Amino acid sequence: MSFQIFYEDRHGNAVDHYGRPEPMDYIIDEERYALEAVSSHTQYLYNQPQENNFDVGSVADENAKDDPDVCMKEASSKRAYTLYTDQDKVRFFKLMFEKVMSTSTAAKQLGIHVRTAQRWAQMYKTDPDSIFIKHEITGHSLILEYIDENPSAVLEQVLERLPQKFQDLKVSRSAVYTFVRTEYNLSSKKARF
């Protein structure tokens, strides 16, 4: 006797894994073969180790068990970043210096990512004042301002402008083109004469 698994299609018919209708010539008795849902997609996700901090249990609604169309939460395409305040940094360094804790111990106690804390400690060793300095000038705003001032600017002009503001900057032409095209939704047109 071979073992076969049957599924229920959208119309309530029993089909095999190839989708063929009427896989058997006899009708399945409800008492003899009790068919039930072993697991749902929501239960499967709930039992998986979570990589993100969202609650999978909130996706499923209690009424969704009877409803075949279950609303699923959209997956985020962007990574979630944690922004730390200056107060978080002060608490971290207070634990490091006053309580004489290691970098990883202080970070774990405050809920700061260990690698972030290690980077702060390294920055403190090289220049203690650099930790609290906010970098306000970015290439993003510089590119946008330059394109606003010169709407007919070509990509080479943008590439020439970047090293004037940022010394030792090495960026490829394709990287700037991809950035301008995706972030600002700008396109470049070729002039034909």
pLDDT tens-digit series, residues 46-102: 777 755 544 444 444 444 555 555 566 666 566 667 778 888 888 999 998 888 889
Report the Cα 109 to chain-centroid distance in Å. Answer: 25
State residue 154's pLDDT score.
79
pLDDT tens-digit readout, 120-136? 999 888 888 877 777 65
* Mean pLDDT, the chain, whole residue set: 73
State residue 117's pLDDT score.
92
Give the CA dihedral 44, 49, 50, 55, nearest 10 degrees. Answer: 50
Question: Dihedrals φ, ψ of 79, to 5°?
Answer: -80, 145
Report the Cα 96 to chain-centroid distance in Å. Answer: 31
pLDDT at residue 118 is higher than 90: yes
State residue 35's pLDDT score.
57
pLDDT at residue 26 is higher than 70: no
Q: Give CA–CA dist 86/84, Å, rounded.
A: 7
Question: Residues of the chain with pLDDT > 70: what percent?
Answer: 61
Question: Dihedrals φ, ψ of 81, to 5°?
Answer: -105, 145
Q: Give CA–CA dist 175/181, Å, rounded.
A: 10
State residue 27's pLDDT score.
55
